[in-house]
């Protein structure tokens, strides 16, 4: 399995502080069956710059030397969205996942800024493919799933956190993640791991849950085939079309939560 969203580089963001902690995190990931990690340090103005490729590459080389060949670790980033995203990509201030054309984009958990469609569409015209990190944990997308669907319509992809499916981020995120899995709105699962205590790189339980919900074939796509396509900068294996109607099922968020706990 391949984890495209993983904060394993030491001392660069809110992930592990030391090289030893990073090594423990990567070895825990390997024990979960993760064969490849895309290291995704935060890129956030004023807090975590992480725009120097040589500096991050040196940290990555040190981690690789300490971890060994298992798991394989490649470089990327998690970019906190701003409207000049296309300029940031042109100046190579954002590291795409595994050096390819996919870019992991994060929003704050409690809002989505206005006028996001144009920048997300514009970067695609320049050859990039944005992936929204953990939208199921964002209260705007939770309450307005038709807004997320409008972004999917213009080609944006989604990454859902494994811990959301297993309930680690609360009932709202869990209900939303399951709803979107069943709708075909999820393109890749990833851990968003930060440490070996509260934010662990758990994959196995989530894969079993996803397979039970939507079948082994789709689980294989979300945990293996699509992540591999992202690392290799190819088109996704599983990329379902949206239905014509963007209207969510009746009942809203709390209806989905009730449905979840009556299964």
CATH number of the domain bearing residue 228:
3.20.20.140
59 falls within a domain:
no
* β-sheet with 36-39: strand ranges across: 2-6, 36-39, 72-75
- pLDDT band for position 251 (50/70/90)? very low
Task: Write out the E strands in the chain.
Answer: 2-6, 36-39, 42-43, 72-75, 78-80, 102-106, 129-133, 157-161, 188-190
The neighbour count for residue 240, using CB atoms within 10 Å, is 14
- Strand, coil or helix: 193: strand
What is the reported pLDDT for 52? 77
The answer to whether residue 1 sits within a structural domain is: no
pLDDT band, residue 170 (cuts 50/70/90) = very high
pLDDT tens per residue, range 215-236: 999 999 999 999 999 999 999 9
- Segments forming the whole domain that contains residue 119: 77-261
- Half-sphere exposure in the Cβ direction for 205 (13 Å, CA): 12
Dist CA 37 CA 72 (whole Å):
6
By the 10 Å C-beta count (0-12 exposed, 13-18 middle, 19+ buried), 146 is classed as exposed
Phi, psi of 43 (to 5 degrees): -115, 100
159 in a structural domain = yes
| pTM for the model | 0.90
Q: What average pLDDT does range 50-63 have in this prediction?
A: 88
Least confident of 33-42, 52-61, 237-246: 237-246
Residue 181 lies in a domain: yes
């Amino acid at each position: 399995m391949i984890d495209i969203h993983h904060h394993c580089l030491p001392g660069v963001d809110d992930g592990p502080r030391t090289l030893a902690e990073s090594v423990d995190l990567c070895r825990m990931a390997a024990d979960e069956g993760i064969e490849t990690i895309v290291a995704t340090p935060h890129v956030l103005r004023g807090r975590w710059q992480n725009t120097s490729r040589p500096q991050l590459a040196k940290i990555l080389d040190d981690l690789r030397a300490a971890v060994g060949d298992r798991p394989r670790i490649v470089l990327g980033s998690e970019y906190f969205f701003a409207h000049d995203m296309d300029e940031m990509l042109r100046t190579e201030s954002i590291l795409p996942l595994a050096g390819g054309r996919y870019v992991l984009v994060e929003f704050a958990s409690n809002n989505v800024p206005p006028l996001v469609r144009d920048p997300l569409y514009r970067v695609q015209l320049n050859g990039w493919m944005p992936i929204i990190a953990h939208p199921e944990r964002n209260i705007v997308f939770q309450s307005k799933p038709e807004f997320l669907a409008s972004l999917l319509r213009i080609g944006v992809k989604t990454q859902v956190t494994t811990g959301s499916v297993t309930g680690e981020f609360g009932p709202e995120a869990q209900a939303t993640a399951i709803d979107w899995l069943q709708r075909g709105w999820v393109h890749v699962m990833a851990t968003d791991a930060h440490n070996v205590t509260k934010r662990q790189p758990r994959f196995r339980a989530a894969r079993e849950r996803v397979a039970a919900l939507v079948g082994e074939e789709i689980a294989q796509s979300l945990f293996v085939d699509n992540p591999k396509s992202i690392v290799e900068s190819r088109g996704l294996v599983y990329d379902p079309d949206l239905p014509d109607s963007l209207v969510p099922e009746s009942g809203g968020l709390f209806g989905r939560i009730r449905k979840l706990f009556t299964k």
